[in-house]
Amino acid sequence: MDNVEKNKLEMLAKKTWAVVGVTPVPEKFGYKIFNKLKSHNYEVYGVNPKYDEVEGERLYKSLKELPLIPECVNMVVNPKVTLSMLDEIHSLGIKYVWFQPGTFDEAVIDKAEEYGFNYVYYDCVLVALDSKES
Protein backbone atom coordinates (compact mmCIF):
# COMPACT_ATOMS: atom_id res chain seq x y z
CA MET A 1 0.00 0.00 0.00
CA ASP A 2 1.46 3.37 -1.00
CA ASN A 3 1.50 6.47 1.22
CA VAL A 4 -1.46 8.16 -0.46
CA GLU A 5 -3.61 5.05 -0.06
CA LYS A 6 -2.51 4.72 3.58
CA ASN A 7 -3.30 8.42 4.19
CA LYS A 8 -6.71 7.98 2.56
CA LEU A 9 -7.65 5.11 4.89
CA GLU A 10 -6.36 7.01 7.94
CA MET A 11 -8.32 10.13 6.96
CA LEU A 12 -11.57 8.28 6.35
CA ALA A 13 -11.22 6.92 9.90
CA LYS A 14 -11.00 10.47 11.31
CA LYS A 15 -14.37 11.74 12.47
CA THR A 16 -13.86 15.53 12.63
CA TRP A 17 -13.47 17.34 9.31
CA ALA A 18 -13.46 20.85 7.95
CA VAL A 19 -14.42 21.47 4.33
CA VAL A 20 -12.86 24.62 2.89
CA GLY A 21 -14.97 25.95 0.03
CA VAL A 22 -18.47 24.93 1.15
CA THR A 23 -21.14 26.60 -0.95
CA PRO A 24 -24.95 26.74 -0.90
CA VAL A 25 -25.02 25.72 -4.60
CA PRO A 26 -26.16 22.04 -4.72
CA GLU A 27 -24.37 21.34 -8.04
CA LYS A 28 -20.96 22.33 -6.66
CA PHE A 29 -18.52 19.92 -5.04
CA GLY A 30 -18.19 22.04 -1.90
CA TYR A 31 -21.88 21.46 -1.22
CA LYS A 32 -21.84 17.76 -2.16
CA ILE A 33 -18.77 16.89 -0.10
CA PHE A 34 -20.02 18.76 2.98
CA ASN A 35 -23.34 16.91 2.86
CA LYS A 36 -21.83 13.51 1.99
CA LEU A 37 -19.51 13.66 5.01
CA LYS A 38 -22.45 14.63 7.25
CA SER A 39 -24.55 11.76 5.87
CA HIS A 40 -21.70 9.39 6.83
CA ASN A 41 -21.84 10.62 10.44
CA TYR A 42 -18.73 12.76 10.34
CA GLU A 43 -18.62 15.92 12.44
CA VAL A 44 -18.15 18.49 9.67
CA TYR A 45 -17.48 22.22 9.75
CA GLY A 46 -17.80 24.38 6.66
CA VAL A 47 -15.36 27.17 5.86
CA ASN A 48 -16.09 29.89 3.32
CA PRO A 49 -15.78 33.63 4.02
CA LYS A 50 -18.40 34.39 1.34
CA TYR A 51 -21.34 32.71 3.12
CA ASP A 52 -22.76 32.62 6.64
CA GLU A 53 -24.64 29.33 6.41
CA VAL A 54 -25.71 26.41 4.25
CA GLU A 55 -29.06 24.77 4.99
CA GLY A 56 -29.09 26.13 8.52
CA GLU A 57 -25.51 25.03 9.24
CA ARG A 58 -23.17 27.83 10.27
CA LEU A 59 -20.16 28.42 8.04
CA TYR A 60 -16.93 29.89 9.33
CA LYS A 61 -14.68 32.52 7.76
CA SER A 62 -11.48 30.59 8.55
CA LEU A 63 -10.21 27.44 10.23
CA LYS A 64 -9.12 29.53 13.24
CA GLU A 65 -12.79 30.42 13.90
CA LEU A 66 -13.92 26.81 14.24
CA PRO A 67 -15.10 25.75 17.71
CA LEU A 68 -12.51 22.94 17.64
CA ILE A 69 -9.52 21.89 15.58
CA PRO A 70 -10.57 19.31 12.98
CA GLU A 71 -8.55 16.16 12.44
CA CYS A 72 -8.74 16.51 8.67
CA VAL A 73 -9.24 19.37 6.20
CA ASN A 74 -10.80 18.81 2.79
CA MET A 75 -9.88 21.47 0.23
CA VAL A 76 -12.50 22.39 -2.40
CA VAL A 77 -11.00 25.67 -3.66
CA ASN A 78 -8.59 26.69 -6.41
CA PRO A 79 -4.85 26.00 -5.98
CA LYS A 80 -4.03 29.64 -5.16
CA VAL A 81 -6.49 29.64 -2.22
CA THR A 82 -5.35 26.16 -1.19
CA LEU A 83 -1.73 27.34 -1.07
CA SER A 84 -2.67 30.36 1.04
CA MET A 85 -4.52 28.10 3.54
CA LEU A 86 -1.63 25.72 4.18
CA ASP A 87 0.08 28.08 6.65
CA GLU A 88 -3.11 28.27 8.73
CA ILE A 89 -3.56 24.49 8.62
CA HIS A 90 0.04 24.03 9.75
CA SER A 91 -0.21 26.66 12.51
CA LEU A 92 -3.24 24.83 13.96
CA GLY A 93 -1.32 21.55 14.08
CA ILE A 94 -3.63 19.77 11.65
CA LYS A 95 -1.80 16.86 10.00
CA TYR A 96 -4.33 15.52 7.47
CA VAL A 97 -5.28 17.38 4.28
CA TRP A 98 -7.34 16.04 1.40
CA PHE A 99 -6.82 17.95 -1.86
CA GLN A 100 -9.80 17.43 -4.15
CA PRO A 101 -8.95 17.19 -7.87
CA GLY A 102 -8.34 20.70 -9.23
CA THR A 103 -7.42 22.20 -5.83
CA PHE A 104 -3.66 21.70 -5.99
CA ASP A 105 -0.65 22.30 -8.17
CA GLU A 106 3.06 21.62 -7.78
CA ALA A 107 3.50 24.53 -5.32
CA VAL A 108 0.71 23.17 -3.09
CA ILE A 109 2.19 19.66 -3.01
CA ASP A 110 5.71 21.03 -2.36
CA LYS A 111 4.43 23.05 0.60
CA ALA A 112 2.40 20.09 1.92
CA GLU A 113 5.60 18.02 1.78
CA GLU A 114 7.57 20.79 3.50
CA TYR A 115 5.04 20.90 6.35
CA GLY A 116 4.99 17.11 6.66
CA PHE A 117 1.24 16.80 6.08
CA ASN A 118 -0.37 13.44 5.46
CA TYR A 119 -2.28 14.21 2.29
CA VAL A 120 -4.39 12.75 -0.47
CA TYR A 121 -4.66 14.17 -3.98
CA TYR A 122 -5.98 12.97 -7.34
CA ASP A 123 -8.76 11.29 -5.37
CA CYS A 124 -12.27 12.53 -4.59
CA VAL A 125 -13.72 12.08 -1.10
CA LEU A 126 -17.15 11.50 -2.69
CA VAL A 127 -15.84 8.49 -4.59
CA ALA A 128 -13.92 7.23 -1.55
CA LEU A 129 -17.02 7.41 0.65
CA ASP A 130 -19.14 5.71 -2.02
CA SER A 131 -16.66 2.86 -2.29
CA LYS A 132 -16.67 2.58 1.52
CA GLU A 133 -20.44 1.88 1.31
CA SER A 134 -20.06 -1.10 -1.00
With 0-12 / 13-18 / 19 or more C-beta atoms within 10 angstroms meaning exposed / middle / buried, residue 109 is: middle
DSSP code per residue over 28-59? SHHHHHHHHHHHTT-EEEEE-TT-SEETTEEE
pLDDT in tens, the chain (134 residues): 678 789 899 999 999 999 999 999 999 999 999 999 999 999 999 999 999 999 899 999 999 999 999 999 999 999 999 999 999 999 999 999 999 999 999 999 999 999 999 999 989 999 999 876 65
- pLDDT on residue 133: 62
Amino acid at site 36:
K
Please give the pLDDT value at position 30. 96
Phi-psi group of 21: left, alpha or beta (phi > 0 → left; psi -120 to 50 → alpha; rest → beta)? left
List of domains in the chain: 3-133 (3.40.50.720)
The pTM (predicted TM-score) of the whole model is: 0.94
Closest CA to 84 of 60, 54, 105: 105
pLDDT at 134: 52
